[in-house]
Amino acid sequence: MRFIVRVVVNAFAIWVVTLIPALQVSVTPFAPGETLQLVLTLLLVAAIFALVNTIIGTVLKVLAFPLYILTLGLISLIINGFLLWLTAWVTSFFGFGLTVGDFWWGVLAALIIAIINGIFGIILRPQRQRQRD
């Protein structure tokens, strides 16, 4: 259930990023013209992004731990941009999916996606029941 919520939130965040034309990030649906195809493409791209972030992102973050300390966490922007670029590269094999114009625009897009994911993480986080004495 958490994975599905994560994919839907990622799909929304990617959609929001594609609405900003200056970022040079776009999603090409598998069939032109239909809203349903765009939504399904966004969900597929978000699922791939979640898998890339979970598998490869975890390995990169463990390996780059000394750089996290040296840069006070700023290396995470570069790593997240790389993971978004990697997702665009993987989806390019399908003939549709995510397109990132430039690596640095991808870094900025990944920052916006992380902010949106953080906001939704706070909103959708289950509230723990407080035990009363």
41-54 mean pLDDT: 92
pLDDT at position 124 is 82
Is the distance from CB of 50 to CB of 14 less than 8 angstroms?
A: no
The 3 state secondary structure assigned to 17-75 is: HHCCHHHCEEEECCCCCCHHHHHHHHHHHHHHHHHHHHHHHHHHHHHCHHHHHHCCCCH
- Are 80 and 116 in contact, with CB atoms under 8 Å apart? no
pTM of the model: 0.84
The percent of residues in the chain predicted with pLDDT above 90, rounded, is 50
* Residue 126 φ then ψ, to 5°: -65, 135
pLDDT for res 22: 84
CA atoms within 13 A on the CB side of 73: 1
Q: How far apart are CA 116 and CA 119, in angstroms?
A: 5
Q: Residue 72, by phi and psi: left (phi above 0), alpha (psi -120 to 50) or beta?
A: left
DSSP category for residue 1 = -
pLDDT band at 128 (very low <50, low <70, confident <90, very high): low
